[in-house]
Structure 1
Amino acid sequence: ALLIVCLFGVIMGGINLTSVYKPTLYGFALLTLAPLIVRVALEGDQLHLFIAAVLSVVLTFILRFGHNLNNLMTQSLAMRYENVDLIGELQAQTAAADRARATAEAASSGKTQFLAAASHDLRQPLHAMGLFAAALSARAHDVQVRNLVGSINASVEALERLFSALMDISKLDAGAVAPRRAAFPLAPVFERLQREFGPPAAAKGLRFTVVPTRAWIDSDPMLFERILANLASNAVRYTARGGVVIGARRRSGTLVVQVWDSGIGIPASERERIFDEFYQVGNPGRNSSQGMGLGLAIIRRLATLLEHTVCIDSEPGKGSRFSVEVARATRVAPASAGAQPTSDARMTTLAGARVAVVDDEDVVVEGMQALFAAWGAEVIGAASGEAMLAALGDAETYPDLLIADYRLAHDELGTEVVSRLRRELGLMIPALLISGDSSAATLDTLRNSGVDFLLKPVLPEELKAHAERLLASSAAAAHSSAHGARPIEEALGAAAR
């Protein structure tokens, strides 16, 4: 009996070691216990037969337990090696993802650089072409020639607007536009929309109404105004009778700015597709007079960038309502008195004005000379600030207006030219910067410069409106400061020293 107990104890204790390899398990257990069980059974009496049966059951249990333990260890080892393989694959995939991300970042950076270069290089000839076309239109007196020139102007304007819209979409998709959020009032935005879209609406016999508001919002002022301008432009374009209304409504902690029109309306099935590029309701023939189908695509991208919600309610044949939900902001104390006038009541013409144009592209200077000459103004052109001072000295005159390209040759900036001419001539000459670089960093610099600016290509009527406004707003200040200005010979002498 003691021998039986000892042998079974040894077998049980060795299961953990022998079960690693099944032949070892079976050979060890069977060769050790089977002869013992047979020897006990051969005694023949009932007691020994019972003991033999019990031992057989125990042997069966040992073998079964060892077999299951072997399967468990085998599966554990298999899973371990599978995990090792998975870890290897995961590391390989992670490395591939890192390489793909680096490639994507490089491609994005390259795309951004391409957009910046293309934006500047393509805007320049478009800008010059628009200037020459407008100048030609002003000089054409024959009816047939004027019609031809009008068609050229319309094509150039359409090309300029299409290019600007495409570049805007490309920059938004490339992540090259960074919003500059700030608290600002809606009233000035509404006033500018009234001035911009009121006349074309009146020309179509439409009412263009802006509901006065004292609300302030938190957004990017320029990008938000672009959203509203695109909505207002579409509303005027697609409305044949009735009118357009722009207003704002408070909603809990937000403000909903709405643009209503009584135009053609949009079917429910089309309300999502209208935000796709180049898609237009009711314009299968791609009539360019109805726009290019990019305005709403830009609106959606801008709204996503600014985290604003854009909604549309419309009924075909009755009109549409576009709503932009934006966070309200706390009113900021108004600036001190003496701000520049916002009224157009003192608007003057360009007749007799002397305009200094600084641009390192001869074709742009020539275009400016032709265009402003058609408006009755005299243009003095130069390629740099130094050359402009020399040209003004030769002409023995002061400029009434300064227009400068933002990026000039030899790394000279238009902001530097404006500051230098104002300092050397002793006059706060009204100035306008024109930039072909529309990157976020450049726009931020232009905003902070305190000088008005336009982006190429500049539409002639837009250039004329800005020039007239700058001349009008500075007329009184220019008159009072002229008595304290140094003679131009003295200013040039100081510049030379």
Structure 2
Amino acid sequence: MRWLPRFDPPRLLAAQMELIDHSFGIAMLGCFLASLLMALGVLISTGNPGILAWSALMGAGCAAGHFGRFYLPDRLSEANAPRYARAMTMLLVVLGSLWGIAGGLYMDLNFPPTAISLLSMIAGMSAAALAIFSPCLPVAVSFFIPSILPVWGVFLATGNLAYLPMFLGVPLFLVVLLVFALNYARVARRSIELRFENRELVDQLREQTGRAAQALHEAEEANRAKLVFLASASHDLRQPMHALGLFLATLKTTALDARQDELLEHIEASASAACEMLDTLLDFSKLEAGVIEARPRQLALQSVLYKLECEFAPLANGKNLVFRVRESAVQVYTDPSLLELILRNLISNAINYTQSGGILIGCRQRGEHLLIEVWDTGIGIPAAQQQEVFREFHQLGNPERDRRKGLGLGLAIVRGLAHTMGLTVGLQSRPGRGSVFRLTMPRLTGPATMEEAVSSAPRQLPLQAVPILVIDDDYAVRSAMEALLGCWGCRILTVEGADEALDCLDSFQPQVVIADYRLRGNQTGQQVLKQIYQQLGRTLPSIIMTGDTAPNRLREAQSSGAVLLHKPVDAAALYGSLQQLLSAV
């Protein structure tokens, strides 16, 4: 397979395969379940039983990959990692080819539901492969190419110029995947190299205790590199997720049958799960950047508790746990969104680590303070670990680093947010008996006031014919933005960069500008907005979108005066930001 890039040296390759191996089992299960779902859809739609044999082959391949790896002795060692990597590459060539064969055999362009289902599944599996297998570039590429090229061939074979967007869009999607995979592989490689360097540094420190000051400097640099890695990885993964979210929001506005609605719900659920992990990384990076500011106001605590009950009660019920929220009439003076984020992390932790019993959320007064408490009957936390659990990436009961159990950032975010708000977080726990987390804040007295909430509600303005200029160097994002804003009735002009944006101002007068933060030529959306303001001689309502979570980048983007939205941007958040900007004009 000379068309694949070469593997890295054994030491790097072993670490890369270790990253992939952690999520390989769930990847194989997801691949088989997706094929089974696809087979049922095609069988119901066309009545072709051959698709069941295809799904069976896919299941056999996924099972062979998952269980077969355990028969490779020391598969993650430097000596055997190349053999493991070659075997996984060959397996993904087979699985990718099976998806490609499905596209070639069963994608009937005369029957849109089947074609849409196959395209969605292949695109979704490619995005999942990007997230899981990109640490080792040859492994990721071995899936992308055989799964996508046959689909392109189906459109080319028609010879119908009506499919010209797909003639160009399918190879463009493949190229985008390859570019993102290359970027992420580079970031992962550098992170692994830094880890090796850190290990060597620790060995040197043990031998040379007199170099403590230099060692501290090196440790700080390693921590900075970790944050850069998190920010870069988050940005590269947010780009395709951002475009996917916008396309899904646009697709929901079209007429779909019941089967298509069901498929759309599954795709949205998968995208939402990926976004949750990226949002956790973003919350942590924003704390590290120091760009979170508390905006306290008076509110009734029960409104926050009720919202959290509606969100988490179904999750607890799904695990047969009792979930109770004690009603409260107290008033608090705090930032409602940050308070909600703290409690959301605490409740999510409680549900994750509780297998029987239940969770109780309530509050009680103690002097001039209010204690908001989250009780659980979970596994508990040993006394020696009760301070460690608030460190980033520290998890209990997850030695295998299963990412389905989170990233180990929830309590670090809780501690950082509480510090930002001037609050304290306490913990009491007994192993095997459960835990209680207490958030202490000032107590207010008096009836609830609604004037502030009413006055702050933005006026709902129509977006019909509102001229909007979109600046983004990513073709998929521009296409998605054009489709979504068009559904809202806006007049849209999309451009790649500063030169095109400035040239169009004579013939197109935008009312709102939406710019990506990172543009080609080392330009930023902030710089382009300044050039537009200078040419027009006035400022415009503007939105900057970014998938970059690096602390310096967040501070720079926030200082521009534009509304800052983080990719992947939810359609409702984008709509609300446009309403906010237009209401302020």
Instruction: Please tell me whether residue 161 in structure 1 is matched to residue 161 in structure 2.
Output: no
Query: Counterparts of 1:422 and 1:248 in 2: how far apart (Å)?
Result: 52
Q: Equivalent residue for 1:297?
A: 411
Query: Counterparts of 2:264 and 2:275 in 1: how far apart (Å)?
Result: 16
Query: Counterparts of 2:364 and 2:537 in 1: how far apart (Å)?
Result: 45
In structure 2, the residue corresponding to 1:402 is in which secondary structure? Answer: strand
Given that 2:239 and 2:547 are in contact with CA atoms closer than 8 Å, whether structure 1 keeps it comes out as yes
Q: Equivalent residue for 2:228?
A: 113
Instruction: Please tell me whether residue 143 in structure 1 is matched to residue 258 in structure 2.
Output: yes
Instruction: Please tell me whether residue 373 in structure 1 is matched to residue 486 in structure 2.
Output: yes
Q: Equivalent residue for 1:398?
A: 510
Greater Cα shift, 149-158 or 378-387: 378-387
Query: Counterparts of 2:225 and 2:300 in 1: how far apart (Å)?
Result: 35
Query: Counterparts of 1:190 and 1:250 in 2: how far apart (Å)?
Result: 16
- Superposed CA deviations along residues 397-421 of structure 1, whole A, max 9, x for unmatched, are 433x221112322333323333443
Alpha-carbon distance, 1:453 to partner: 0.8
In structure 2, the residue corresponding to 1:454 is in which secondary structure? Answer: strand
Alpha-carbon distance, 1:266 to partner: 3.4
- Superposed CA deviations along residues 120-150 of structure 1, whole A, max 9, x for unmatched, are 2222222122222322333352221121122
Given that 2:230 and 2:549 are in contact with CA atoms closer than 8 Å, whether structure 1 keeps it comes out as no
Q: 1:114 to 1:182 in 2, by over 3 A?
A: closer
Q: Equivalent residue for 1:355?
A: 468
Query: Counterparts of 1:258 and 1:348 in 2: how far apart (Å)?
Result: 38
Query: Counterparts of 1:166 and 1:466 in 2: how far apart (Å)?
Result: 22
Letter in 2 for 1:104: A
Instruction: Please tell me whether residue 343 in structure 1 is matched to residue 343 in structure 2.
Output: no
Please show how residues 428-443 of structure 1 align to structure 2 within 5 Å.
Answer: 428-443=539-554
Q: Equivalent residue for 1:323?
A: 438
Query: Counterparts of 1:152 and 1:226 in 2: how far apart (Å)?
Result: 26
Query: Counterparts of 1:178 and 1:117 in 2: how far apart (Å)?
Result: 14
Q: 1:427 to 1:112 in 2, by over 3 A?
A: same
Query: Counterparts of 1:236 and 1:467 in 2: how far apart (Å)?
Result: 36
Given that 1:134 and 1:371 are in contact with CA atoms closer than 8 Å, whether structure 2 keeps it comes out as yes
Given that 1:271 and 1:312 are in contact with CA atoms closer than 8 Å, whether structure 2 keeps it comes out as no
Letter in 1 for 2:264: V
Letter in 1 for 2:333: A
Q: Equivalent residue for 2:239?
A: 124
Instruction: Please tell me whether residue 410 in structure 1 is matched to residue 521 in structure 2.
Output: yes
Query: Counterparts of 1:180 and 1:229 in 2: how far apart (Å)?
Result: 20
Letter in 1 for 2:579: E
Instruction: Please tell me whether residue 93 in structure 1 is matched to residue 208 in structure 2.
Output: yes
Q: 1:151 to 1:245 in 2, by over 3 A?
A: same
Q: 1:182 to 1:248 in 2, by over 3 A?
A: farther
Given that 1:309 and 1:325 are in contact with CA atoms closer than 8 Å, whether structure 2 keeps it comes out as yes
Q: Return 5+ residue gaps in structure 1 as ranges.
A: 1-89, 329-339, 478-497
Greater Cα shift, 144-153 or 120-129: 120-129
In structure 1, the residue corresponding to 2:208 is in which secondary structure? Answer: helix
Q: Equivalent residue for 1:389?
A: 502
- Superposed CA deviations along residues 24-73 of structure 1, whole A, max 9, x for unmatched, are xxxxxxxxxxxxxxxxxxxxxxxxxxxxxxxxxxxxxxxxxxxxxxxxxx
Letter in 1 for 2:466: A
Instruction: Please tell me whether residue 461 in structure 1 is matched to residue 572 in structure 2.
Output: yes
Query: Counterparts of 1:224 and 1:342 in 2: how far apart (Å)?
Result: 19
Q: Equivalent residue for 1:77?
A: none
Query: Counterparts of 2:265 and 2:491 in 1: how far apart (Å)?
Result: 24
Given that 2:299 and 2:331 are in contact with CA atoms closer than 8 Å, whether structure 1 keeps it comes out as no
Q: 1:280 to 1:211 in 2, by over 3 A?
A: farther
- Superposed CA deviations along residues 88-130 of structure 1, whole A, max 9, x for unmatched, are xx99632465565454344333323322322322222221222
Given that 1:347 and 1:468 are in contact with CA atoms closer than 8 Å, whether structure 2 keeps it comes out as yes
| Identical pairs, percent | 28
Alpha-carbon distance, 1:376 to partner: 3.1
In structure 1, the residue corresponding to 2:456 is in which secondary structure? Answer: coil
Query: Counterparts of 2:479 and 2:259 in 1: how far apart (Å)?
Result: 25
Given that 2:232 and 2:550 are in contact with CA atoms closer than 8 Å, whether structure 1 keeps it comes out as no
In structure 1, the residue corresponding to 2:540 is in which secondary structure? Answer: coil
- Superposed CA deviations along residues 434-461 of structure 1, whole A, max 9, x for unmatched, are 1222233333334433321111222223
Given that 1:211 and 1:247 are in contact with CA atoms closer than 8 Å, whether structure 2 keeps it comes out as no
Letter in 2 for 1:215: Y
Q: 1:145 to 1:225 in 2, by over 3 A?
A: closer
Q: Equivalent residue for 2:152?
A: none
In structure 2, the residue corresponding to 1:453 is in which secondary structure? Answer: strand
Q: 1:309 to 1:342 in 2, by over 3 A?
A: same
Query: Counterparts of 2:310 and 2:530 in 1: how far apart (Å)?
Result: 35
Please show how residues 41-120 of structure 1 align to structure 2 within 5 Å.
Answer: 93-95=208-210, 97=212, 100-101=215-216, 103-120=218-235
In structure 2, the residue corresponding to 1:410 is in which secondary structure? Answer: coil
Alpha-carbon distance, 1:198 to partner: 9.4
TM-score normalised to the size of structure 2?
A: 0.47
Query: Counterparts of 1:111 and 1:216 in 2: how far apart (Å)?
Result: 32
- Superposed CA deviations along residues 374-397 of structure 1, whole A, max 9, x for unmatched, are 333332111224422333434x44
> 2:477 is matched with which residue: 356, 359, 364?
364
Given that 1:257 and 1:325 are in contact with CA atoms closer than 8 Å, whether structure 2 keeps it comes out as yes
Given that 1:380 and 1:392 are in contact with CA atoms closer than 8 Å, whether structure 2 keeps it comes out as no
- Superposed CA deviations along residues 440-487 of structure 1, whole A, max 9, x for unmatched, are 33333344333211112222232223223333x23xx3xxxxxxxxxx
- Superposed CA deviations along residues 273-319 of structure 1, whole A, max 9, x for unmatched, are 996979899xxxx998xx958674344452586585324689xxxx9
Instruction: Please tell me whether residue 215 in structure 1 is matched to residue 333 in structure 2.
Output: yes
Q: 1:157 to 1:420 in 2, by over 3 A?
A: same
